[in-house]
Structure 1
Amino acid sequence: MEPIHQNDITITDGNPNPNLENSGLESYEKLLNEHEKLKKQLEEQINIIQELERKNTVLKDEASKYQSALGAATNLQLSDSDTNNPVALKNDMLKLQDLLEDYITTCKGNVEININEIQKLLKRYKSNSVITKDQKDQKPLIKAVLQRHVIEEIFDYGEKYFNFDNLQNYKEYGCGAETYLYNRIYDLIQLAEVIAEKRDGVDDITRVLPIKLRQEVFAALGNRGFNKVIANKKGTFPHEFISRYQDILNREINKYRKLKDPGKKQEIEDMAGEIIRKVITLFWFRLEVQEPIAEYIWFDYNDNINHSYMEGTWEDDEIENIVVDICYFPLIAQKFDDKSKRQIYTPARIFHKTKQNMPQNSENTKN
C-alpha cells in the first residue's frame, strides 16, 4: 500500500461537487423565470376573462333592452298607465254621459219644450210614445230622446268630415289633418297586412304591424285630435271643425228646448264644442285603439230588456213586462255576438216602456 501524501488531498469546503451547485442554481432561476412567465400569462388571461365578462354583461343588458322593446312592439294589450286602456275608455264614456245630461238640462224651470218637434223626433227613432201638454211625468223621455239626437247629429258631422271625397274642403295641414291621417292610416294598414300575409317568413313584428299601426295612430288622434290649433306667436284657437259645428248643434237642439235665461243659455251652449270633440274622439278613434276593436250598438224600439248589458230605472221583477222605448246611449263592447268572449265597457242606457197588448196596472202605467 502506497503512502498517502498531503499534497494529494484537495480541500473543497465540504462541497464535493461545485458543478452540481451551479447546475442547481441555474435550474432554480429557470424555474423562477418560468413561474414569472406563467404568472404573467395567467394575469393576462384573467384580464381577458374579466373583459369578456364585462362585454357579456353589456351584451346581456342590450339584449334585455331589445327583448323588452320587442315585447313592447309585439304586445297588443294596453298597460294600466295607458290613457287609452279599457278602464280609461269606460271612465271617459261615463264622463261623456254626464256631459250630455248637463247639456240637455233637466228640461224644467226656465226651459221651453217644443212638443210638436219632440214628437217628430220620437218618431224618427221609431218610438210610438206620445208627449202630452202636461209634460211633468215625461221629462225623462224628453231628455232621453234629446240626448240620443245630440249623439246622432254629431255622428252625422263626423261622417261628413271624414268622408275622403270632402278633403278639398280642408287645408292639408290645417283643420283637415285629422281627416287625412284617418283616411290614410287604413291604406297603411292594408299594405302592412299584405306584407304580413303575402310575404314568406315568420316574425312577430311583421305579424302585429297592422294592429300596432292602428293602435298607435288612433291613440295619437284620440289624444290630440280636434284639440286647439297652435298659431305662430298668436296663441291657440279652436279647431275649425269644432267651432263650426258647435253653432250648428246649438241651433239644432234649440229647436226642441229653449233656455230662457240668457246667462244659463250661454253657459250651456259653450259645452257643445267639448261634447262634439269627445264624441268624435271616443267613437272614431278610441274604440279603434282597443284590441280587438270595440264597437257601439244601438238597441231599437221594442227590443227586450237585458240587464246584463242595459241599464235604466226599472226593477228586476219588471223586466219581463217592459221593452226598449229609446236607447239614448249605445252599448260599448268587444265581441258582443260571442257570449264566451264578450266584454262590456259601458252598458246601453235605456228609457223603457211597458210591453204593448198587456194589461196595464197603475205601476206599469207609471213606468
Structure 2
Amino acid sequence: MSNPSSTSDVPPPVPTKKKKFLVDEKEEEDLESNQLSSDAIDVAAKFQRALDAFKKYKKQNGILEKEKEDLLAQNYNLRIQVDQARNSIDELVSRIESEKRRYQQRANNSDLEIQDLKRQIMQLKTEASQLQSRLGSATSVHWGDNDANNSVQLKNTISGIQSELEELTSVKGKEIVINEENATQLFQQYRCTMRTGEAKAKVVLSAVLQRLILETLFFHLNRYLLQSDASNLRQKIQSQLPPANQQASPRQHNPVKPNPRSSSLGLPHALEQNNNLEVEITATMISLCDLLSQLTESRQGSDDVSRVTPIKIRQQIYAILGTRGFCKEGHPFIEKLSNIILETLGKYRQFKSEERNLEARKKTIELVREIVHLYFRLKALEPAPEFNEFIEAGSSIQNNVMDGSWDDDSTEDLEVEVCYFPIISVKNKDNTRKVLCKGQVITRPKQ
C-alpha cells in the first residue's frame, strides 16, 4: 500500500524543461554528425594526398628502377673494360719487365764500355795535358808569378834601384862639396826654376843627378849593345883561335890550361875570355829573330810556334842576360860605364875623403850592373815596355802616370819641376798604355 503522503510530496514534472532537454540532445546529435562529417572529409583528403604521394613515389620508383638498370648495365660494361684494361696492363708490365731486363743487360755492358772509355779518356787527357804543357811553354809569352822577370817582381827591383840611386846622388852632409856653378847650369839644362841655396835645392839637385845617371847609362848601353860592327867582333874572336892545322910551339904560343867547365860545354878557351859576349849574343839574337820573322811571313804554315818563336827567343836571351850579363869581375864595359857615371857626378859634387870616393865607386859599379840587368829584364817582357820616357819640366800633373808628394786637391796649381825616374809603360795599338811604373817627379807651383 502506497503512502499517499509520500506520493503527494513528489512534485509533478515540468513539461517545459523536458522539451528543452530534447532540444539540447538534438543539437548535440547535429554537432556530432557535423564533427563526423568533418573528420570523414579530413580522412578522405588525407587518403587522397597519400594516394597522390603513392602515385608520385611509384612513378619516381619506376624512374629509379630504370636508372638502376642503366647503371647496372654500365657497371657491367665497366667491369668488362676494367678486365680488359687489367689484361692490357699485365701484358704491358710483362713487356716492360722484359724490356727492362734487356736494357739492364745493355746498361751493364755499357758500364763496362764506359769504364774502358773513361780509362782511355784519362790516358788521352794526360797525353793532351803533357802536349799542351809543352805547347804552352813553347807559345806562352808570359812569365810566371814567381819568376824574376814577372812585372810584379820587376816593380820590387825598380823600387830597390830607386833607393840606391837616391843614396848615390845624395848631396847632403858636411863631407860633400857642391859645385854651384855647374849645378846651376844643370838646373838650366833641365829647365828647373830651382836655384842653389834655396831650401829644396839639394833635393832637386839629387833628383836631377838621378835622371842624368839614367840617361847617360841608357845612352852608352844602347850604343854598346847595338853597335854595327858585331861582325868585326866575330872575326876578332875567330882570329884569336889557333888554326886547325897549325900546331902551337912553345916559342910561338904559351899553352893555357883549359877551363874544365868550358871544355865540358864545348866552348873554346878564347871565347870564354871574350868580353863582348853580350854584344855578340844580342846581335845574333836580333839577326836570328829577323830571319825567323821573315820565314814565318814568307813560308806557308799555320802553327803558332813559328809565330811566337822570335818572341820567345828574345825573351829567353834577354832573361839570361838579365841574370848573367856582365857578371864578371872587372868587366871592361861595367868599369868604363861606372867611370863615366862617377866623372859625371864629380862635376857637380865631390867628397872630401878618399874613403867616401871608394865607397861611391863600389856602389856605382853595383848600381850600374843592376840597372843593366833591369834593362835586359824589361826587354824580356812581351810586349817590351818603353822605359826612357822622362816627363819634361813644366808639364801638368797627371796622377795616372806620375808619382810624387802632393795633395789631390792641389794638383791644378802644380807642375813638374823635374822627373828623375822615367815612366815604364806598354803602349797598345789603340794608343792606350799600361803603366808598370809611374814617373817619379818633384813639383813646383805653376809659373
TM-score, normalised by the number of residues in structure 2: 0.61
Residues 151-190 of structure 1 correspond to what in structure 2 (within 5 A)? 151-165=214-228, 167=230, 168=232, 172=237, 173=271, 174-190=274-290
Q: 1:206/1:61 Cα in 2 relative to 1: closer, same or farther (>3 Å)?
A: same
Distance 1:205 1:160 in 2: 32
Residues 213-292 of structure 1 correspond to what in structure 2 (within 5 A)? 213-228=313-328, 237-283=329-375, 285-292=376-383
Q: 1:131/1:166 Cα in 2 relative to 1: closer, same or farther (>3 Å)?
A: farther
Structure 2: which amino acid aligns with 1:278? E
How far residue 55 of structure 1 moved from its aligned partner, in angstroms, is 9.8
What's the RMSD between the two structures over aligned residues?
2.7
Distance 1:165 1:75 in 2: 31
How far residue 74 of structure 1 moved from its aligned partner, in angstroms, is 1.0
Q: 1:343/1:179 Cα in 2 relative to 1: closer, same or farther (>3 Å)?
A: same
Alignment correspondent of 1:131: 195
Residues 45-194 of structure 1 correspond to what in structure 2 (within 5 A)? 61-125=126-190, 127-132=191-196, 134-165=197-228, 167=230, 168=232, 172=237, 173=271, 174-194=274-294
CA displacement, residues 129-157 of structure 1 (integer Å, 9 cap, x when unaligned): 2423x244311111111111111111222
Structure 2: which amino acid aligns with 1:200? Q
How far residue 53 of structure 1 moved from its aligned partner, in angstroms, is 11
Alignment correspondent of 1:365: none
CA displacement, residues 251-296 of structure 1 (integer Å, 9 cap, x when unaligned): 221111111233233212211112211222222x222211111112
Bigger proportion of residues as helix: 2
Distance 1:352 1:53 in 2: 67
2:146 and 2:153 in contact (8 A); partners too? no
1:103 and 1:269 in contact (8 A); partners too? no
How far residue 58 of structure 1 moved from its aligned partner, in angstroms, is 6.8
TM-score, normalised by the number of residues in structure 1: 0.73
- Percent identity (aligned): 33
Distance 2:339 2:404 in 1: 31
Unaligned segments of structure 1, at least 5 residues: 1-49, 229-236, 357-367
1:90 and 1:346 in contact (8 A); partners too? yes
Distance 1:226 1:201 in 2: 39
Alignment correspondent of 1:199: 299
Q: Is the partner of 1:314 in helix, strand or coil?
A: coil
Q: Is the partner of 2:393 in helix, strand or coil?
A: coil
Q: 1:54/1:318 Cα in 2 relative to 1: closer, same or farther (>3 Å)?
A: closer
Q: Is the partner of 1:282 in helix, strand or coil?
A: helix
Q: Is the partner of 2:415 in helix, strand or coil?
A: strand
Alignment correspondent of 1:314: 406
How far residue 352 of structure 1 moved from its aligned partner, in angstroms, is 1.6
